[in-house]
Amino acid sequence: MPPPERRNPASHPHTQLTRRAIRLILANREAGLTTMQLAVRLHVSEAHLRRVFRAATGVQLGKYATGLRLARGRHALRHTRRPITDIAYDAGYANPESFSRAHRHAYAVSPRNLRKTAKDTRRMPPDTPALALQFIKIPIRQFDEARQFYGEVLGLPEAFAVEAYGWAQFGLTPVPLCLYVVGMGGGDGEPGGDAGFHLAHPDLDALEAKLRAAGYPPAIGVTEADDGGRFLVAQDPDSNTFKVVLKDP
């Protein structure tokens, strides 16, 4: 019996519409397009666009667009000396008061206080750590299978996923692990190499058995390290290789 035909979620009309909407929003961040204006440009009804976008991303269309506009303004506040009024207009707000209210609601801090904090950070001594790793990105091509592997097989906690954007984020502490479909907005890259991260698991033998039972045999089974520790080398469905070490009790 032939295997069932794999459905490509990126080819679904609703997914295509959502991706077109995202591209329009990104290309018109300064204009601050309304949902109605987006719907007109996409030749669909506003209600249909809202419904499809929410179903595909789990986020309301208006909140998504607002988040991008605020992120644009937030970056300018942190990294430029431009007047807050100009930043508000460039972010698509009619006046600085509206921008300030939206910024306080989203980040619990006013634009003016955020800028003061950024200035204080720049005044810190040179040896003060100012950078932090935001997340680890893993290039993939098989979105659904990769999510299932990392979530169900490895047991990592999924924070959220945006199918239309080809992005899934797993809420690991302190650095989240993020899957992104190459060419869909998360970035370019080539799956199949060294992913460059290590996971920790309390029972490597049990994990190896689980991987084999799920059809993902490790590249290298449980092995004794030179320092006396143990590890195994695994591969995800897109052949990204990573190491799993023994978690301390």
Taking only the tens place, the pLDDT of each residue in 13-50 is 567 888 888 888 777 766 667 889 999 999 999 999 99
Q: What is the pLDDT of residue 185?
A: 67
Q: What is the pLDDT of residue 7?
A: 43
**Distance in angstroms (rounded) separating the CA atoms of residues 249 and 233:** 21
Is the distance from CB of 149 to CB of 160 less than 8 angstroms? no
* Percent of the chain whose predicted confidence (pLDDT) is above 70: 85
Does position 183 have pLDDT exceeding 70, yes or no? yes
What lies within 8 Å, CB to CB, of 32 at 6+ separation is 65, 69, 91, 92, 93
Q: What is the pLDDT of residue 41?
A: 92
Position 69 confidence tier, pLDDT thresholds 50, 70, 90: confident
Does position 139 have pLDDT exceeding 90, yes or no? yes
Position 58 confidence tier, pLDDT thresholds 50, 70, 90: confident
Q: What is the pLDDT of residue 80?
A: 83
**Distance in angstroms (rounded) separating the CA atoms of residues 16 and 2:** 29
Does position 210 have pLDDT exceeding 80, yes or no? yes
Residue 2 CB neighbours (<10 A): 4
**Distance in angstroms (rounded) separating the CA atoms of residues 14 and 239:** 29
Q: Model pTM? A: 0.52
**Distance in angstroms (rounded) separating the CA atoms of residues 177 and 170:** 5
Burial class from Cβ neighbours inside 10 Å (0-12, 13-18, 19+) for residue 180 reads buried
**Distance in angstroms (rounded) separating the CA atoms of residues 97 and 157:** 39
**Distance in angstroms (rounded) separating the CA atoms of residues 9 and 29:** 27
Is the distance from CB of 104 to CB of 110 less than 8 angstroms? yes
Cis previous bond, 111, omega within 30:
no
Kindly state the tokens that stand for 47: 């209600």
Lowest mean pLDDT among 24-33, 174-183, 211-220: 24-33
pLDDT (mean) for 143-154: 93
Nearest to 46 by CA among 33, 31, 58, 57: 33
